[in-house]
Chain A
């Protein structure tokens, strides 16, 4: 049983990481969902016990299943659900701003913008330098006169 859990968790985590590395925002979100479920399954597996349901009254001396891991997993599931919602909202926000969900395309756009910004700064600096040179030349002329 332990081996089965380990294999399933490994496959889930591996597929999740594989999707995380894809250059597509929605696949990345799916990858996060898979990784989150791998974590949930680990939590379940960490307290695997066979026994009766832990509801009072329990039989004397009988084995009782561990209820704590189930409570934890339930909480973690809800958190994972909320996180997925936030991620999807962010992905939609990115799509609205950029009209693309392709990460390569997004970073290309960002690089272009940064380059444009830099070019603008440089143009401004050069303009200022030219102005300063003009200024100096004029002052030089005046001094000569």
Chain B
């Protein structure tokens, strides 16, 4: 049996069992962390297989190939699955060592991991929607359950805005089925060229809006800061590091692989919206003082980079989008996890996150930015290169501002502003582990770069498969 279904079969029963237990107790929390760790390892092995021998497939339930639902994982899906599962693992471990506040947190985290893993390994558009909705419902509930009582309104707005995106996605699945007569991604990619151009553009725009809402791009960003403010840092880390991957993956998969012609057609628009997103996120972030708010606006800015890379297109641009997304998810996780912990080591971890976001070697962020620069130069677009440089400089400014604001103050004042328990040994271990990953990927980037190239190659090959 192929490994594809194994993580789903591990996560699903565990999530259901945990839903019945009290997640605030030590035992269920550790069980959830253990389950996530096992599926993380399985996904990592799967990634190894994919990297060595190309995309893997499995038709669920032993049905004939065109009847059953196809699970299909290529380098892009495997990379995002490992990344998301790892981020959720680190965030949940942090939550468990800190002390879980809401009884449903471990179960909801597992459901989110299940949804994310499922949508990264499925080869079927409709089951993509089902898994996607599973992950999103877990996220709404997580916001509602862990948000402070006063801020539960943010969870409501989060849910309503994202639901509109989801239903738009559902409608466009209907349109895609009508236009191509199939739901399988590979078959859609083959038949995409035969769709009537007007229909294809409508479909592409609707997909863009649906994923733009998830990713928190500039015109659809308004729900994002209030949600990141309402939840605790480790839940914010889950959202920024794992859940936001849906948007990046969706744009890459549906734009880069299924509708490449329409992506090319909209390249200028994508670069324009991405640039506005970068500028808006950075300028808003500079004006804020609250760490989480700054990081939320910074996420809006970084979504713009993915879009610019996608707009630049070609194998180099797609690879840059993948590499940048991976580095960015790790950075955001690290920054959120370290944001409310004090101590010299935690300050160092936070600093590593800042340097990585700004793209200073030796951190993973450097290679994310380097890949973007490469794509910009490759496309011969000087404006893009200037924009990337300015965006990087601005992110350095706003992150150092909060570093200074939070940590370079007289002790008593700092304590009033950051009412924090000093970091426990467990919290320190988890945060330092994430920081170590960021550093190791910066010192030894070959696997990440190769993965990005392979993912871009797999995307381009999808329409030409079989």
Contact = CB atoms under 8 A, between A and B. Distances in A.
A94 B183 contact: no
Contact of B152 (A45, A93, A128): A93
Query: Which has the most chain B C-beta neighbours within 10 Å: A42, A68, A113?
Result: A42
A72 B126 contact: yes
Contacts of B149: 93, 96-97
B156 A25 contact: yes
Query: Which has the most chain A C-beta neighbours within 10 Å: B149, B156, B163, B178?
Result: B156
A42 B174 contact: yes
B153 A20 contact: no
Interface stretch (A56-64, A79-87, A135-143): A79-87
A89 interface: yes
Contacts of A86: 137, 140-141, 144, 159
Contacts of B153: 94, 97-98, 106, 110
Q: How large is the interface on A (under 10, 10 to 19, 20 to 34, 35 or more residues)?
A: 35 or more
A27 B81 CA distance: 37
Interface of B is mostly: helix
A93 B144 CA distance: 8
Contacts of A38: 167, 171
B9 interface: no
A128 B413 contact: yes
A99 to B, nearest CB: 12
Given A90-B159, A91-B156, A20 B164 contact: yes
B12 interface: no
B166 to A, nearest CB: 8
A65 interface: no
B146 to A, nearest CB: 12
Contact of B140 (A43, A47, A69, A90): A90
Interface in A106-125: 106, 110, 113, 124
A41 to B, nearest CB: 9
A44 B174 CA distance: 8
A27 to B, nearest CB: 11
A32 B160 contact: yes
A43 B172 CA distance: 9
Contacts of A97: 149-150, 152-153
B126 A75 contact: yes
Nearest to A79: B133
A38 B172 CA distance: 12
Contacts of A89: 144
Given A42-B174, A45-B174, A97-B150, A87 B156 contact: yes
Interface string A25-64: 1001000100110111011011100000000000000000
Nearest to B183: A68
Interface string B128-144: 01100100010011001
B164 A87 contact: no
Given A45-B174, A46-B174, A79 B164 contact: no
B413 to A, nearest CB: 7
A68 B124 CA distance: 13
A91 B168 CA distance: 23
A43 B164 contact: no
A42 B140 contact: no
B133 A35 contact: no
A79 B144 contact: no
A82 B137 contact: yes
Contacts of B177: 43, 46-47, 68-69, 72
B170 A76 contact: yes
Contacts of B168: 39
Contacts of A69: 174, 177
A75 B171 CA distance: 14
B112 to A, nearest CB: 14
Given A82-B137, A83-B163, A86-B159, A46 B183 contact: no
A87 B173 contact: no
Nearest to A48: B178
B205 to A, nearest CB: 16
Interface in B195-216: none
A45 B256 CA distance: 28
18 contacts: A20-B160, A25-B156, A28-B156, A32-B163, A35-B164, A36-B163, A36-B167, A38-B167, A38-B171, A45-B174, A72-B177, A75-B130, A76-B129, A83-B163, A86-B144, A87-B140, A94-B152, A97-B149
Given A42-B174, A82-B137, A90-B159, 20 more contacts: A28-B156, A32-B163, A35-B164, A35-B167, A36-B167, A39-B167, A39-B170, A42-B170, A45-B174, A47-B178, A76-B129, A83-B133, A83-B163, A86-B144, A86-B159, A94-B153, A97-B152, A98-B150, A110-B150, A128-B413
A-B pairs, top 10 by smallest CB distance, nearest first, are A46-B174, A46-B178, A39-B170, A39-B167, A42-B174, A97-B149, A43-B174, A93-B152, A90-B156, A42-B171
